[in-house]
Every structure is written in structure tokens, then in C-alpha cells.
Amino acid sequence: MTPKKRFFLACLFALAGLYSCDTIDCTLNNTVVMTCKFYQDGKAVQLNDTLTVTAAGTDAVLVNRKSNASSLALPLSYFNPEDTILLNITGNGYAVTDTLWVEKTSYNHFESPDCPVNMFHNITGVRSTHLFIDSVTITRPEVNFIEYENLQIHFYPSAD
């Protein structure tokens, strides 16, 4: 092998070594969602009917015809101080829609110049209509990468 080829290969390996040492420490789970869980009679429940969730004022379907749901993972808007979410439950011969209003503040989350900026939220208030939702409790107001329960959606007590 000629000295020119050896020098070229040595430079090539040196450059490859430099680039292989570069790491980007961005969070792999970088989806920010609000986690809601369903409760009835003080216990976690699974919704046997079909659930469709939409964002009011848009054509965005957040959850499409989910059955046997016990929780929801919903994105929040970046710039609106309040999100309006429609929960439509359809069952055997009926359809009911309740509205959930989530008041929040949003702020940028910056990790590194190599990573995209994410929007985190702080839930400041929640209210709802009361067709099938009895009440809503904020259990963790911070909405970020960690998918802890943020809201408890309590249905009316069962008619046993």
C-alpha cells in the first residue's frame, strides 16, 4: 500500500472516530400528553362503550372509536390558554357527548441545542358538562414527558 493511501485511510478512520464520539442527549420519549384515567364509585374503571375524543373548533380527532378504555393520553394545544375537548360515548342505542375545558399555562422546555424545543403545560383548572361526567380532579398539574395521571374523570355512581 502506498504512503498516500495509508495517509488517506488514517485520516478517514480519524474522522470516523471523531464523529462516533459525538452523542446527542435528547430525550427519546419526547411526546407531551395529558393522561386522564376513568373512575366510578371511587374505583378505577374501564369504559365498555365506544369513545371518540375530538378537539372543539378543529377537525382533529384525538381518539377514534376506542373501546374498553380505562385512560386517555391527550395532547394539549401550544398557545391557547384553554383547550376544549369533546368526549363522545356511544353505546347500545345511545350517544352522549360531554365537554371538558382544560385551563393551562404553557412554557418552552429546552434541553440542548441539538434537541427540539418542547412545550410543557401546567393545568390551572378543569370544568366539564355533566351528562356522564360527575366531576374531574386534577391529580398532577404538570404535563410533560412523564406520563403520570394528570386528571381523574369521575363518572356518576353506578345504579346498582
Of all helices (H) and strands (E), which one includes residue 13? helix 3-20
Q: CA-CA distance, 126 to 27, in Å (whole number)?
A: 29
* pLDDT tens-place string over residues 70-94: 999 999 998 899 999 999 999 888 8
3-state secondary structure of 91: strand
* pLDDT tens-place string over residues 44-70: 999 889 999 999 988 889 999 999 999
Q: Which domains does the chain have, with CATH numbers?
A: 32-155 (2.60.40)
User: pTM (2 decimals)?
Assistant: 0.78
